[in-house]
């Protein structure tokens, strides 16, 4: 399996696939989201254990992402019919219930493969997450092994940091930066003001 790190800074691979949206099948493409930020995340399989906690957590915070001009897409190698059955299963029974974003079917595994998150032996995707800017460029990626879920809060934080530096190209964000915190001017002399105040 190839590392996804080399995709950062490059245009995200486009795809066209069937997704479950509002309990119906829809054909979508990544390209149709140009002009907005996208959180694209892969998960291994429907009807598993960590996956519903991630998907419902992102769905519950969908409004926060929408306010940042950001759409969310979730992808697995399951069929659209499996996605639909999972959405039609209540959360208290391990299902998703209504969710606020598309579940994309990658039955051929070509989407996961193109993003370098396909475990070829298992035939499923690792927990890959990609932040894509309005021009379709991948700004950030993370990949987890299957046993540990991802943080919605951290995804929001990193998204806002990238939006900030794209809006302010004369600034960079230090570790743990959150909106309203100080940034650094990427200049040997100008950066001294930031570092002089550190403990």
* Residue 30 · residue 167 · CB < 8 Å: no
Give residue 199's pLDDT.
61
What would the pLDDT profile of 169-191 be if each residue is shown by its tens digit?
A: 999 999 999 999 999 999 999 88
8-state DSSP, 4? G
Three-state DSSP state, 165: helix
Q: What is the mean pLDDT of residues 39-64?
A: 96
Annotated active-site residue 173? The verdict is no
Reported as a pLDDT band with limits 50, 70 and 90, residue 6 is confident
Sorted by sequence, the CB contacts under 8 Å of residue 180 that are 6+ apart come out as none
User: 28: alpha, beta or left, given left = phi > 0 and alpha = psi -120 to 50?
Assistant: beta
Q: Is the pLDDT of residue 198 over 80?
A: no
Q: Which of 7, 12, 39, 51 is catalytic?
A: 51
Q: What is the pTM of this model?
A: 0.93
Domain boundaries, the chain: 4-167, 168-199
Q: What is the mean pLDDT of residues 130-147?
A: 95
Reported as a pLDDT band with limits 50, 70 and 90, residue 193 is confident
Pick among 3.40.710.10, 3.30.1390.10, 3.40.30.10, 3.30.2230.10: CATH of 4-167: 3.40.30.10
100-116 per-residue burial string, b: 16 or more CB within 10 A, e: under 16: bbbbbbbeeeebbbebb
Q: Is the pLDDT of residue 138 over 70?
A: yes
Give residue 197's pLDDT.
82
């Amino acid at each position: 399996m190839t590392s996804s790190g080399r995709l950062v800074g490059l245009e995200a691979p486009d795809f066209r696939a069937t997704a479950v949206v509002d309990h119906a099948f829809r054909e979508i493409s990544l390209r149709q989201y140009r002009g907005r930020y996208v959180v694209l995340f892969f998960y291994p399989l429907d009807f598993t254990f960590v996956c519903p906690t991630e998907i419902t957590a992102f769905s519950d915070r969908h409004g926060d992402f929408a306010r940042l001009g950001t759409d969310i897409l979730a992808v697995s190698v399951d069929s659209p019919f499996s996605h639909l059955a999972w959405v039609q299963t209540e959360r208290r029974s391990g299902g998703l219930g209504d969710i606020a974003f598309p579940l994309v079917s990658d039955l051929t595994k070509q989407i996961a493969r193109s993003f370098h998150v396909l475990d070829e032996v298992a035939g499923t995707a690792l927990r890959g997450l990609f932040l894509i800017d309005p021009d379709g460029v991948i700004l950030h990626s993370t990949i987890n092994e299957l046993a540990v879920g991802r943080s919605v809060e951290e995804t929001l934080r990193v998204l806002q940091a990238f939006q900030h530096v794209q809006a302010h190209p004369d600034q960079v964000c230090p570790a743990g930066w959150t909106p309203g915190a100080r940034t650094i001017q990427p200049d040997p002399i100008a950066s001294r003001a930031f570092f002089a105040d550190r403990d």
